[in-house]
Structure 1
Amino acid sequence: MNYIIYGINRVARDFLYIFDNLSIKYLTDNEISSHTQWGFDVYELQHALKDNCYDKIIVCDFEKGEKIKELQSLGLKYGKDYVLEEDFFIQLDDFSLPGNKPIAVWGTGNMAHKLMEDATDFMPDIFIDSNKSSEVFYERKVYFPDEIQLKDYYIVIAIAKSAEVRNVLENNHLKEYEDFCSFHTILGRPSEMLRKTIFDDKYYELECHTMLNHLEILNSGASRCCCTTFVAQDLDNILSKQSSDVWRSNLHKIMCLSIENRTYSFCDKNMCPLFVDKSSRKKAEKKSIDWDYKNMSDTPEVLALGYDPSCNLACTTCRKSTYFVQGNDKKTVDAITSLIKAEYLEKCKFLILAGDGEVFASPAYKAIYEDPKCNPEYIRLLTNGILFTPRNWAAFKANKTSKIMMTVSIDAATAESYEQIRCNGNFEVLKKNMVFASKLRKKGELSYLRFNFVVQKKNYLEMASFVKWGEKLGVDEIFFTKILNWGTYSKEEFAEISMMQEDEVTPKPELIEVLNDPIIKNSTIVDLGTIQYMHKLDEVNIVENYYKWELEKRGGKLFQ
């Protein structure tokens, strides 16, 4: 079927980006300023109405009332002669909830709240919670898992760390998508996602292309196309679909649209440093689209791995005790490792590991970095530093020509605080290892060295000392971030330990006092990361990949 587009505006531009397989003959509008736009011919509406080269008109606009009235006044009928851009959205969905089973949501915490608040036309029949604290949630009864027959329900998992629940369901012979799914699947239906960004009437004077080239592989095989702190929406699970299908999915394309149209509809503006001091503008301030929309790379060029939570420490910010995967969890981690080695590793240019767990404590990550195919142009090593010994460094670096950059998560400047926050850690061992890392940086074996510090009540008074320690060792950057609640704390506990006020943007007065310390305020290596208050504004409007930009802010030119 042949179409013409009625409307030369951002909605039309977005529509053409997503539905690039339609046969579009040309564009039209009541008034035109050019005879070509985005590679298409352009004609006035009166000309188009006399033409017979198309079958239907597609109306595209934020407010379509006047356009529809115009067509109807000329005798054109909806459905027969013209359709709306949103009529096509449902074609993008490859998933719908089954109609032959009642729906159960597993979880009654933050993720379940998000599901219930954000999902359109969604109401489960019951809730399930292994640690239920109430009998009713959103006017539905809450059950323990053993109080019901799981096979009798279609289950939506709505908890942050879902591996254990997935194992329970799989042990009951239930299959993902067929018998259960993640709440991200519900919230991430392409039709709903496209509706959110295509009709988002704000935009930012920022050009970030991270989602076009970036893939994160996470717990249980989940994936995302940007930092998990900045973007909550998952792509498909890599264990459920081929790598090409994950990467070139409708959902990923819509996520890419949200950065190319510069709405950044799915980005957390309060977390991502790129949005510091950048306010949105309404579409009316800039009616024309005078920039090109770029397409995603053929395969992920930047691959960030964080799928094995195995760790030698039990940091209070993320877990109650040390944890190493075993049983079914280990089988899942091993399956992900095999898949990464077979389908993802050789094609990536920049490898980041590991965003979850400790790279030198994980057999899975070791299998990645010791694989002969693991020799990308660039590697960013994320570690807690306790196992960063000469022996482990030699094993990591063996047979690689990669430029290697390292970030060490520390969170303290004294042994007392360090060993309270990073349980099972040894500050003297860490200091010795950081002297070794400093020597590697000075010799050029490490191309970049950064120390991370998550600010909370137990350590904020040590921030200045931490800066001085980093400067003494010659690190490239000291990176401070505000503490986040990954489900480790109750709401009341988190309010007590966080150094941010209730809005999560403004620091508490005692932290403001510390931030004004000249040692912090005047240091050239300090970055306040997600603490946007007093954040030093980075004069940048073009970012090809956030992680590359982040490293080059203090590390100089690292990437070609």
Structure 2
Amino acid sequence: MDAVCIEDQTARFQKAADFLNAGNSSYLDARRNPASGKKAALDLIAAAAGEIGSRVGGQSLQGFGEWLLKDAGKVRISTLNAASLACIQSENWDLAKRLANAVNSVDHHDLLAQRLHDAAAIKSSDLSLPVDDWLKDKFCKAPFEQIETRANETVHFCCSAWQPVPIGRLDQKPERVWNSDVAKEIRRSILDGDYSYCSRWHCPMISGRRLRKLEQMGASSEVMTIAKGRNAPEKPDTFSLKQTPNRAILSHDRSCNLSCPSCRTKVIQINRKQSADLDSLINKDYADFLSAASRIKVTGSGDPFASRHFLNFLKHFTATNTRAQRLQLHTNGLLLDEATWNRLDLWGHVDSIWISADAADAETYSVVRRGGTFERLLSNLRFLGNMRRAGAFSKLRLDFVVQKQNFREVPAFASLAQHVGANGVYFLRLRNWGTFTQQEFEDQNVCDPSHPDHPELLSVLADQRLRNPLVELGSLQPFVRDALDRQHKSAC
């Protein structure tokens, strides 16, 4: 192709990309705010994919896709998704996966990109996946029993990586959020078995195939009544609940004493005014709303013992609540020692403690848990392990985010957990919370089957130490199945 033709093609590609990029805001709005009468996110992407053919030509789709990938970090995700869908429609499976992966590498909330990748991997032109059939008769209790507050002031039913669509905002009355139109639509999607707003990758209940049928999940009588009458046309408000959440995950403050590369680029601390504003909101409106909750988790966003706000919350909680094991503490463990336990008077209030550690030795820990001290962690883990054995709380779990820096230590981490007295280990795949560039994330994401270290990860996941009942493999479960299949074939 001569220089003039290349210049003409580049101009055509740029013009097409500019047109497609202009639709990104509408796509993000549809993705975040599903509502009746609005076009769904997939509808917008399907229309954009149709435009690609007329604007760049079917014969130029390969070139257009490759052109987008050269500088994917500056291309809007709706454009990459539209190009991926166009490739699926023309059965260009490899390019479709690469385009979808470019989205997944920068935005782990994009459910459509995850579906496009998996559809291309199994050559599903209609985007249907085997997991969709499995989900049709399964039930998830989270949208009927649980809420999670986030640092961006949104409220979800669970982790925003598992279910990215917010049901409301933190500054709204919690009763209104609990039964918002979006909340009811998400409940509808669960009862109808389509799980339109849930991640097949990141939700451990889905990726680990842990959901069961409604009758097996111990749903409340109110939920059972809703399930039976959900198709009644005379009941438009069928999916509202009178019961309040049984569990709350408070993740609305990212303050932490560490700056782990998988989570953030620097230490985050909110100021005193922000902390006081949260104190007023949570200790008033949410304290009343969650008074019947049997479990309250603090926190999924930072560290409760490095946060002014969460320290105030814990002091308020232990001073105003009778001793019942309701608290679930999620922490890096460095500040939770005996002195802190006694100062906050946590005795009798704690149900479980989850420690994010991500490493089995000091050298790796210094990299993946930037700012932490491994020896201090081990000391506090031994204290907590002894407390757990003595019956002070029921569950001590160690958590591990799998990435290039640490994946070879997965089996050793399971052994470490047992050694310090933990009775649970939880592994999950790396996600990009906006801390990595696309290239940095792709370099760290060993769970991507195209990563050069992925075969070695599969070998690691076949280790017998991970077959221990205390080990939860969460979002790694699909890769474990691959690992065991490969091991079986090798043995044969």
TM-score of the alignment, normalized to the shorter chain, above 0.5: yes
1:276/1:535 contact within 8 Å kept: no
Asked whether 1:208 is paired with 2:140, we answer: yes
- Secondary structure in structure 2 of the residue aligned to 1:449: strand
Secondary structure in 1 matching 2:474 = coil
Query: What do residues 292-338 of structure 1 show as CA deviations (whole Å, max 9, x unaligned)?
Result: 35863522221110011110001011111111112764465345434
Q: Residue in 2 aligned with 1:392? A: 340
2:406 is the alignment partner of 1:459: yes
**TM-score normalised according to structure 1 size:** 0.56
Q: Is 2:386 the partner of 1:439?
A: yes
Amino acid at match of 2:340: N
Which residue does 2:161 correspond to in 1? 229
Instruction: For residue 272 of structure 1, report the CA deviation from its aligned partner.
Output: 1.9
Whole-Å separation in 1 of the counterparts to 2:157 and 2:255: 23
CA distance 1:357–1:279, shift in 2 (3 Å): closer
1:386-535 aligned within 5 A: 386-398=334-346, 401-501=348-448, 508-520=454-466, 522-535=467-480
1:258 to 189, 201, 206: 189
Q: 1:279 to 1:530 in 2, by over 3 A?
A: closer
Contact 2:244 2:290 in 1 (8 A): no
Q: C-alpha separation between the residues in 2 aligned to 1:315 and 1:277?
A: 26
Equivalent pair of 1:368/1:374 in contact (CA under 8 Å)? no
Q: Which residue in 2 is equivalent to 1:44? A: none
What is the CA–CA distance in structure 1 between the aligned matches of 2:477 and 2:74, rounded to whole Å? 37
Give the match for residue 299 of structure 1: 244
Q: Contact 2:204–2:474 (CA<8 Å) still a contact in 1?
A: yes
Structure 2 CA distance for aligned equivalents of residues 428 and 263 of structure 1: 47
Q: Is 1:309 paired with 2:254?
A: yes
CA displacement at 1:368 relative to structure 2: 1.3
Question: Unpaired segments of 5 or more residues in structure 1?
Answer: 1-107, 124-132, 140-182, 184-200, 281-288, 538-560
Mapped contact 2:303–2:332 kept (Cα < 8 A): yes
Q: Which residue identity lines up with residue 464 of structure 2 in the other structure?
A: P
Query: Which piece of structure 1 moves more, 330-339 or 374-383?
Result: 330-339
SS at match of 1:533: helix
AA of the residue aligned to 1:272: C
CA–CA distance in 2 between the matches of 1:252 and 1:235?
A: 5
Structure 2 CA distance for partners of 1:113 and 1:499, relative to 1, 3 Å: farther
Q: CA deviation at 1:204?
A: 1.9
- Quick check: 506-515 or 401-410, which moved more? 506-515
Matched with 2:28 is 115
- Alpha-carbon distance in structure 2 between the residues aligned to 1:512 and 1:216: 33
SS in 2 for 1:531: helix
Preserved contact between residue 337 and residue 367 of structure 1 (Cα < 8 Å): no
* Residues 325 and 393 in structure 2, CA contact (< 8 A), matched pair in contact too: no
Greater shift, 223-232 or 430-439, is seen at 223-232
**Deviation string for 1:332-357 (max 9, x for gaps)?**
53454344555334332210111111
Quickly say closer, same or farther: Cα 1:249–1:295, change in 2 above 3 A: closer
Deviation at 1:396, TM superposition (A): 3.5
Aligned residues: 351
> Is contact 2:149-2:249 (8 Å) kept?
yes
Q: Matches of residues 360-371 of structure 1 in structure 2 within 5 Å?
A: 360-371=305-316
Q: Confirm or deny: 8 A CA contact 2:136 2:192 kept in the other structure.
A: no
Give the stretch that moved more between structures: 417-426 or 246-255.
246-255
Q: Does 2:288 correspond to 1:343?
A: yes
3-state SS in 2 of match to 1:352? strand
Q: Is the 8 A contact 2:336 2:380 kept in 1?
A: yes
* SS at 1:408 equivalent: strand
The answer to whether the Cα contact below 8 Å between 2:174 and 2:286 also exists between their aligned partners in 1 is: no
For residues 447-499 of structure 1, the C-alpha deviation after alignment (integer angstroms, 9 at most, x for no partner) is 11100010111111111221111122231111111110111111111111111
Q: Whole-Å Cα distance in 2 between the matches of residues 209 and 296 of structure 1?
A: 13
Give the Å deviation of 1:270: 2.0
Deviates more, 1:208-217 or 1:325-334: 325-334
CA distance in 2, matches of 1:308, 1:279: 30
- Give the C-alpha shift of residue 442 in structure 1: 0.7
How far is 1:243 from its partner? 2.0
| Distance in 2 (alpha carbons) for counterparts of 1:488 and 1:528 | 24
Aligned to 1:208, what secondary structure does the other structure show? Answer: coil
Q: What is the letter of the counterpart of residue 234 of structure 1? A: P
**CA displacement at 1:206 relative to structure 2:** 1.3
Say which SS state the counterpart of residue 256 (structure 2) adopts. Answer: coil
Say if 1:514 and 1:402 are closer, same or farther in 2 by CA, change over 3 A. Answer: same
Letter in 1 for 2:200: K
Which residue of structure 2 lines up, in the alignment, with residue 148 of structure 1?
Answer: none
CA distance in 2, matches of 1:397, 1:136: 50
* SS of match in other structure, 2:358: coil
Q: Which of 209, 217, 222 matches 2:149?
A: 217
1:278 shift after superposition: 5.5
Show CA shifts across 1:378-435 (max 9, x none). Answer: 221101000011011123444x643520110000011111011111100000000000
More helix by share: 2
Structure 2, unaligned runs of 5 or more: 1-20, 45-72, 80-109, 111-131, 212-224, 231-238, 483-492
CA 1:279 to 1:314, structure 2 compared with 1: closer, same or farther past 3 Å?
Answer: closer
- 1:515 positional shift: 1.0
Q: CA-to-partner distance for each residue in 1:92-112, whole Å, 9 max, x for gaps?
A: xxxxxxxxxxxxxxxx99x95
Q: How far apart in 1 are the matches of 2:306 and 2:373? A: 15
Specify the alignment match of 1:318 in structure 2.
263
AA in 2 matched with 1:383: T
Question: Which residue identity is paired with 2:475?
Answer: T
Q: Percent identity?
A: 25
Q: Which amino acid aligns with 1:256?
A: R
**1:272 to 2:272 alignment:** no
Query: Within 5 Å, which residues of 2 pair with 1:36-51?
Result: none
Q: Secondary structure at the match of 2:475?
A: coil
493-502 or 417-426, which deviates more: 493-502
